[in-house]
């Protein structure tokens, strides 16, 4: 025999409102978490993309790779322990060409004071058969002569030919002592910008990491003159290397972050690069490997990951660039082991 209680559940409007608010909070938290995961795996922040850029991105390989990465994410693995789509050893790596490799070089950045990781990276690059190495800024933490010389010694010990650019950290000590910001760097590495020709590929190394002064008139004129001269010679490829990104779709580590007027200088340089047919712009400073296109000029760009193990959202890494016999190139991420 069943007995029915004589009491009915009362409807409490305050309780209903509380439940509704809690549901909304949970939905917002989930949405923010999904946005952050998408941003982390893709290197893009959808909130900062205009409609044109968003359309291009959603049809790109980067979007596909980011979605697959999120859907197949293993919670047992940390974010820093996984290779990104397109990295060396990743099943999702897509190469621009399968032509034979003519030669290769390595691009390293943001070693700071992590000499141990820098030694490992250089050993891996050497074992991979690179012809030379480009060090793209932040070779030190505070730019002291002692820190810069320690990094230089590691580079010398590797036996590899190398070219170095100063990052913003490499200027700190000189600026703090009211000297020319590049004083210590020049003492150790001589050049702050230069142009290199290697087997019909032109590599133009730019010093753009002074967050307060930007590029002076001498270097700006040199860049335009060099690009005009180089483009007339019609090399197979033209690469620009600049430690501070001129543009990034999701990171604020760009020219103009500290001194807003430098944004116009960055705009001018990107327009100049496009006008002279630059194929790719390499940057660093973000401590994150990402490939993207600057929307206004449709200029291909890449930020290489950081060598240091400190303040690094990814496992430490660098890039190897394969120059191919058909005049194209492939870029591979290499995680430091």
pLDDT per position as a tens digit, 241-251: 999 999 999 99
Task: Give pLDDT, residue 31.
Answer: 72
Q: What are the backbone dihedrals phi and psi of residue 200, each rounded to the nearest 5 degrees, phi first?
A: 65, 20
CATH T-level topology, domain 101-335: Purple Acid Phosphatase; chain A, domain 2 (3.60.21)
How confident is the model at residue 61, as a pLDDT?
39
pLDDT tens-digit series, residues 254-310: 999 999 999 999 999 999 999 999 999 999 999 999 999 999 999 999 999 999 999
Confidence check: pLDDT of 13 > 70: yes
* pLDDT band at residue 2 using 50, 70 and 90 as cut-offs: very low
> Helix, strand, or coil here: 203?
strand
Residue 211 to residues 88, 103, 208, 254, 270: CA-CA distances in angstroms? 33, 35, 8, 9, 17
All structural domains of the chain with their residue ranges: 14-71, 101-335
Among 41, 140, 122, 106, smallest CA distance to 322 is for 106
- Strands 280-283 and 132-136: what pairing? unpaired
Q: List the one residue out of 322, 320, 284 whose CA is nearest residue 305.
A: 284
Give pTM, 2 decimals.
Answer: 0.74
C-beta pairs of 129-132 under 8 Å, 24+ apart in sequence? 129/104, 130/104, 130/105, 130/106, 130/160, 130/320, 131/103, 131/104, 131/105, 131/161, 131/198, 132/105, 132/106, 132/160, 132/161, 132/162, 132/163, 132/198
Mean per-residue pLDDT over the chain, rounded: 83
Per the structure block, which two tokens stand in for 329? 């190139």
Q: Is 51's pLDDT higher than 50?
A: no
């Amino acid at each position: 025999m069943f007995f029915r209680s004589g009491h009915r559940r009362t409807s409490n409007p305050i309780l209903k409102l509380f439940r509704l608010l809690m549901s909304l909070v949970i939905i917002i938290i989930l949405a923010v978490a999904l946005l952050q995961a998408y941003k982390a795996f893709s290197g893009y922040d959808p909130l900062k993309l205009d409609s044109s850029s968003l359309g291009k991105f959603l049809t790109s390989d980067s979007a596909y790779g980011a979605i697959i990465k999120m859907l197949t994410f293993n919670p047992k693995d940390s974010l820093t322990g996984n290779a990104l789509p397109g990295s060396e050893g990743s099943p999702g790596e897509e190469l621009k060409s399968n032509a034979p490799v003519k030669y290769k070089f390595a691009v390293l950045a943001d070693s700071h004071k992590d000499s141990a990781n820098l030694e490992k990276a250089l050993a891996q690059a050497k074992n991979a058969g690179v012809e030379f190495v480009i060090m793209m800024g932040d070779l030190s933490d505070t730019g002291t002569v002692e820190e810069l010389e320690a990094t230089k010694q590691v580079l010398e010990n590797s036996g590899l030919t190398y070219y170095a650019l100063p990052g913003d950290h490499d200027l700190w000590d000189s600026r703090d002592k009211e000297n020319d910001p590049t004083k210590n760097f020049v003492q150790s590495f001589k050049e702050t910008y230069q142009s290199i020709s290697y087997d019909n590929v032109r590599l133009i190394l730019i010093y753009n990491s002074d967050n307060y002064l930007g590029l002076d008139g001498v270097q700006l004129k040199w860049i335009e003159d060099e690009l005009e001269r180089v483009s007339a010679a019609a090399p197979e490829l033209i690469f620009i290397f600049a430690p501070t990104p001129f543009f990034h779709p999701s990171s604020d580590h760009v020219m103009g972050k500290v001194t807003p007027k430098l944004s116009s200088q960055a705009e001018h340089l990107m327009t100049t690069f496009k006008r002279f047919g630059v194929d790719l712009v390499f940057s660093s400073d973000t401590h994150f490997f990402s490939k993207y296109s600057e929307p206004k000029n449709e200029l291909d760009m890449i930020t290489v990951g950081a060598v240091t193990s400190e303040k690094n959202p990814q496992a430490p890494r660098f890039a190897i660039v394969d120059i191919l016999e058909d005049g194209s190139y492939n870029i591979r991420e290499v995680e430091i082991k």
